Structure 1
Amino acid sequence: MGLAKNALGEDEEIVLEFHPHWSTLVGTIFWAVVAVAVAGVAIFFIPGGSAQTLIRLIIAAVGVVAILVVGLIPFLRWVTTSYTLTNRRFAMRDGILSRSHRDIPLTRVNDVSFRQTLIQRILRSGTLTVESGGEHGQLVLKSIPRVEFTQNQLYRIVEELTDGDDVRP
């Protein structure tokens, strides 16, 4: 779901392509399991009677809707969010039904930094901050996998691009 190959410019190559870190799905998985467990327990403990089947079907339907809301939608949001670093730009794509695109030309990047909490260091993720000249200024991307490697790659490419622009007497 990243940057399409036909969207690349002349002499443009993909360096990195990734989604947000998998840890962003932990809460989603937890709440989906809770929804299944609650629905299962409720269905199991429905007392016998003429309406038992109807009540079980209603609880199952509510459970399915809960799983879709707390499980499927965040998962689809994760799958459809992608980051692509090329040798010319940093591209972000997201959205399930409607799409959002943002490209930052690497020649406009002023600073690249990252932050990690202890848990993020253990999971090898973090927050990447990309500052660029222009209207939108700063871009903060949370839950980036291998954030230090990504920051290093982005910085390396920016340095390569700007080295040719230096004019020295």
Structure 2
Amino acid sequence: MIVRETGLQDCFVIEPTIFDDGRGSFFESFNLQKFQEKVGLNINFVQDNQSISQRGVLRGLHFQKGEFAQAKLVRVIKGRVLDVVVDIRKNSETFGQTFSIELTGENNKQLFVPRGFAHGFSVLEDDTIFFYKCDNYYHKASEGGILFNDKTLQIDWKLKKEEILLSEKDTFLNSLDHL
């Protein structure tokens, strides 16, 4: 496993070691001991989530507040997304900064999203399967979000405006300035 820094504190790209042969390929998608050793954080994942989406779907930017904040380890099993995170920790040196990466079923890269970050992704290929681990349980009353098109963030979601499919709740989120 190779762990790369993103430029945002405690946020990492993780690349597995893939073993290929004539039968196909194999890789270890998660190992708690190796993960904690490489990232230097004590994380205990308690919930796994999965979504299947079509091209144009944009989910985010979401986060959980307070005691229900969540760290996530995200990856794509099949298909392709542009994964985006925003540091929303007001005392952080990288507050308001973003990081994006293309995650695919072929590159098998993962992104570790620490607590205190907003997270979202745009789906760039039909039938994309997105999977993630969380270190805290979902709590509806603690959910929050930032508008995907917040002018201060200037995120290029790699989709045309007319392609974007949002949930109704994602159309009413706040800007970063109103957190």
Report the structure, 1 or 2, having the larger helix content: 1
TM range (shorter): under 0.3
Give the TM-score taking structure 2 as reference length: 0.24
Greater strand share, 1 or 2? Answer: 2
1 or 2 for the larger relative contact order (CA 8 Å, sep ≥6)? 2
TM, length-normalised to structure 1: 0.25
